[in-house]
Amino acid sequence: MQLSLGRQRGLVGVAIGALVLLVIAKSLPNVVAPHPADTSLLTVHLLMEMFAVTIAVLIVTVTWHTFDPAANPDGNALIAGFVIVAVCDLTHALTYEGMPDFFGTTSTERAIFFWLMGRTFEVFTLGLIVVGGLRRFSRGQSVALGAAVGLAVVWAGSRHIDWFPQTFVEFTGVTPFKSHYEEVLTALDIGVAAALWSKGRRQSESRYRIMAVSALVIGLGELTFTSYVQPSDFLNIFGHVYKLVAYALLYWATFIASIRAPFDAQLDSERRAQESERRVRTLSDNLPGSMVYQVARDAGERMQFLHVSDGCRQLYGLSADEMLREANVLYERIHPEDRMQLRVAAESSARLLTVVDMPIRIRHLDGRERWIRVVSAPRRLDDGRTCWDGIHSDITEQRAAAARERESEALLGAVIESANDAVIGVDARGRITLFNPAAARIFRYPAQTMIGGDVGVLLPADVRPSVSGAGTGSLNLAEHLGASRVRGLRSDQQRLELEMSVSQVQVNGQQYFTAILRDITDRVRTERALVQYQVELTELTQALLAQEKATASRLAQALHDELGQTLAAIRIDFVGEVPLASGEERARHERVDRLIDQAVREVRQVLAELRPTILDESGLYEALKNELAGPRMSMEGVEVNLAAPPELRAQRWDPGVEYAAFMVTREAIANAVRHARATVVRVGLTGSASALRVEVSDNGAGFEPAAQTARPGHLGMVGMRERSIAIGARFEVVSSPGRGTSVVLAWQERER
């Protein structure tokens, strides 16, 4: 048992006070009272010694009646030692000078002998407690030993006091032997006090600390008996006070160890039990969605709840008192089918003492049906009844979530099973964990033979090393997260072109990959054919454009050389400076002359449209500038702007590129003016020596993208796109009704 902090401080205060009082008493002059036989000091001494004897007897009595070797192993030493101490103190009181002659003639010498024997056996007893002596003795043997030793001391002091050295000289005081004996006792008491205090700290026992203070007080008190002259001196009486305080402390220690400690232990045990019960009840009452209970069944198979937590109200809408009064208020709410299964499970559990663990359906007071998990462990009570300790938990939401998860898994499984794309699951080692029917159809492997196999078997041998894992020969899907194209291998060794999407997930610390593959073999074949067709079409377009260019050149040359000369000859022959016979003749000649001028202008216009000479001579910018400054643009009443950086105005590109860009720009301007009814047209020219971008934008009516087709007699969008493709340029048209149109030709010189 541990002392409170306040009582520990009190003990230390007693020790310090005893030391301070001793110093004060020893510093005061000794007061010699009259002879004890003639004063009341003899009565005071007798009363003090009787009090000491009573305490010694109480120590023996309390230890005798409460002695438990397991809880108090020091009882034997206390019983034997304080029987001797009580005998010595009683004999000391009866042999004090002035008392009747009970044990021979009373004298100070004989009283001092019994005093010293009492103090000697007291310190010896406390020393035995330090070392743990007399543990094998019984209580009777301890009393007998103490009585025998005490009687031997009485006999020696009564009959043979002369055997003991002289301790007192009348009118002189105590002898040096007596003083030294007291000093040795003081030293022993202080040593025993230190040992007891240390033992109390090691074992966390307060009684040892109290005994330590008692030994210290009685040791300090011994110093008051080293220098008195008469037994009635102040120091002699003051030393008896120390003895009484020390005896009171010893009784306190004995009382704590024998009576108070078990009582406090019982109170502490009850308090801990109550606290534990409160914690258990609080825990059981606060379990979310659960009810903790005890239910017993008697021989008549009647169920009776012994304990029900407050969770019953949340689970069933019933109070604990209702269920404790009558168990059937709960069992009546169980679904009839589950009630029968629970009864069968309880019968088996009671017979075999096995745990019940099953779900049941119950009907709450609010009318809703809930799922409850019943878990209970049976045990036999002393009266023969079977008792179950258990817990009911609401698992309605868990079952609903599990049902949704199963439904989701079933739906996912159905989607995977019915998917047209191959779905293949692979673990971190490249082992196949999922192989759906589409995968079996695409790769022509039975699904059951592929599960657990290496995914690398689905790859051609020449492709496998480039996508394999580190020395495993299997597809390392971690390198292909996202979408990519791979090649596959059917069971008949036919190569497949596959479009693959890979995702990664971790389950229980393990990596798994899911690959979704689409067979695009036919599409790739078609794409390759389309690319080849586009290449051939581009070559054909380039050839046609080259032929168109050559034809336009020959036609322009023919118009210039032949038709021009013919018109010039007609003018010379028909409209020469010859005298005309009449005014009508002159009028006809003038009309023919005007027609010839008009024909020449039209021929020149056709020549410019077929092959603008300025394009070959000055480049694209000057040709576009000349085109926009022509009379036709001014006649249309359209504002046309041409913008180009200064460094590009003299830039020359490949003649074919310049010709295609010029023709596309001319057609875009014509479409904006004639068909979109635009009032503003902007032509932008940007790029570098290896790149060219021409953009024609207008504020016209615009059109739907579906209208990007050629109209009879016009190049249209198709013609402009073909011209762009022929030079390897990108052609783009952005338009919407009411928001104008933007036509872009972007060319980039290809690296050789």
Residue type, 426: V
* pLDDT tens-digit series, residues 395-433: 988 888 888 888 888 888 888 888 888 898 888 888 898
Distance CA 640, CA 683 (A): 8
**Does residue 484 or residue 561 have the better pLDDT?**
484
**What is the rounded end-to-end Cα distance, in angstroms, of the chain?**
100
Q: pLDDT band for 205, please (50, 70, 90 cuts).
A: confident
DSSP three-state, residue 391: strand
Tokens read off for 324: 């404790």
> What integer pLDDT is reported at residue 582 of this predicted model?
67
DSSP three-state, residue 154: helix
Distance CA 623, CA 644 (A): 13
> What integer pLDDT is reported at residue 29 of this predicted model?
60
* pLDDT tens-digit series, residues 462-498: 766 544 443 344 456 666 666 677 888 888 888 888 8
DSSP three-state, residue 513: strand
Long-range contacts of 96-105 (CB under 8 A, 24+ apart): 96/36, 96/42, 96/45, 96/46, 96/49, 96/231, 97/36, 97/37, 97/231, 98/35, 98/36, 98/37, 98/42, 99/42, 99/46, 103/154, 103/157, 103/158, 104/158, 104/159
> What integer pLDDT is reported at residue 747 of this predicted model?
93
DSSP three-state, residue 75: helix
Distance CA 125, CA 572 (A): 167
Tokens read off for 72: 């108090």
Q: Is the pLDDT of residue 671 over 80?
A: yes
Q: Which DSSP category does 729 fall into?
A: -
Q: pLDDT band for 135, please (50, 70, 90 cuts).
A: low
Average pLDDT over residues 55-71: 74
> What integer pLDDT is reported at residue 713 of this predicted model?
41
* pLDDT tens-digit series, residues 68-84: 655 566 778 888 888 99
Q: Is the pLDDT of residue 626 over 80?
A: yes
Distance CA 502, CA 517 (A): 9
In the chain, what percentage of residues exceed pLDDT 90? 10
Tell which residue, 158, 79, 176, has the closest CA to residue 117. Answer: 158
> What integer pLDDT is reported at residue 483 of this predicted model?
63
Residue type, 381: L
Q: What contacts 169, CB < 8 A, 6 or more positions away? A: 175
> What integer pLDDT is reported at residue 466 of this predicted model?
47
> What integer pLDDT is reported at residue 28 of this predicted model?
57
**Does residue 309 or residue 484 have the better pLDDT?**
309
Q: In what order do the strands lie in the sheet with 639-643?
A: 639-643, 680-688, 691-698, 741-748, 730-735
* pLDDT tens-digit series, residues 224-247: 777 666 665 666 677 778 888 888
Q: How many CB atoms lie within 10 A of CB 585?
A: 12
Within the chain, how many helices (H) and strands (E) appear? Answer: 25, 17
User: Phi and psi at residue 744, in whole multiples of 5°?
Assistant: -125, 130
Tokens read off for 549: 């260019």
Distance CA 149, CA 325 (A): 68
* pLDDT tens-digit series, residues 562-600: 666 676 667 666 655 555 556 777 677 777 777 777 776
**Does residue 93 or residue 257 have the better pLDDT?**
93
Distance CA 578, CA 586 (A): 10
Q: pLDDT band for 643, please (50, 70, 90 cuts).
A: very high
User: Phi and psi at residue 319, in whole multiples of 5°?
Assistant: -85, 160
Tokens read off for 67: 């002695």
- Cβ–Cβ < 8 Å for 106, 226: no
Average pLDDT over residues 93-105: 78
Q: Is the pLDDT of residue 620 over 70?
A: yes
Q: pLDDT band for 374, please (50, 70, 90 cuts).
A: very high
> What integer pLDDT is reported at residue 685 of this predicted model?
93
Q: pLDDT band for 18, please (50, 70, 90 cuts).
A: low
Q: What contacts 432, CB < 8 A, 6 or more positions away? A: 424, 425, 426, 450, 451, 452, 453, 454, 455
Tokens read off for 509: 């610390």
Q: pLDDT band for 560, please (50, 70, 90 cuts).
A: low
Distance CA 592, CA 350 (A): 132
- Cβ–Cβ < 8 Å for 665, 645: no
Average pLDDT over residues 663-678: 86
**Does residue 251 or residue 688 have the better pLDDT?**
688
Q: How many CB atoms lie within 10 A of CB 360?
A: 20
> What integer pLDDT is reported at residue 38 of this predicted model?
46
> What integer pLDDT is reported at residue 37 of this predicted model?
45
What are the percentages of helix, strand and coil residues in the chain, rounded to 5? 60, 15, 25
> What integer pLDDT is reported at residue 692 of this predicted model?
93
CA distances for 186 relative to 218, 228, 581, angstroms: 8, 16, 180
Q: Is the pLDDT of residue 694 over 90?
A: yes
Distance CA 316, CA 536 (A): 82
Q: Is the pLDDT of residue 309 over 90?
A: no
Tokens read off for 446: 């039975």
Q: pLDDT band for 3, please (50, 70, 90 cuts).
A: low
> What integer pLDDT is reported at residue 474 of this predicted model?
46
- Cβ–Cβ < 8 Å for 102, 87: no
User: The whole model's pTM is what?
Assistant: 0.41
- Cβ–Cβ < 8 Å for 309, 291: yes
Q: What contacts 37, CB < 8 A, 6 or more positions away? A: 97, 98
DSSP 106-135: --HHHHHHHHHHHHHHHHHHHHHHHHTTTT
3-state SS, one letter per residue, for 214-275: HHHHHHHHHHHHCCCCCCCCHHHHHHHHHHHHHHHHHHHHHHHHHHHHHHHHHHHHHHHHHH
> What integer pLDDT is reported at residue 710 of this predicted model?
47
Average pLDDT over residues 121-125: 88
* pLDDT tens-digit series, residues 728-737: 889 999 988 8
Q: pLDDT band for 542, please (50, 70, 90 cuts).
A: low
* pLDDT tens-digit series, residues 284-297: 777 778 889 899 98
> What integer pLDDT is reported at residue 162 of this predicted model?
83
Distance CA 306, CA 389 (A): 10
Taking the CA atoms of residue 262, residue 264, residue 268 and residue 269 in that order, the dihedral angle to the nearest 10 degrees is 20
Q: Is the pLDDT of residue 22 over 70?
A: no
Q: pLDDT band for 26, please (50, 70, 90 cuts).
A: low
CA 536 centroid distance within chain: 64
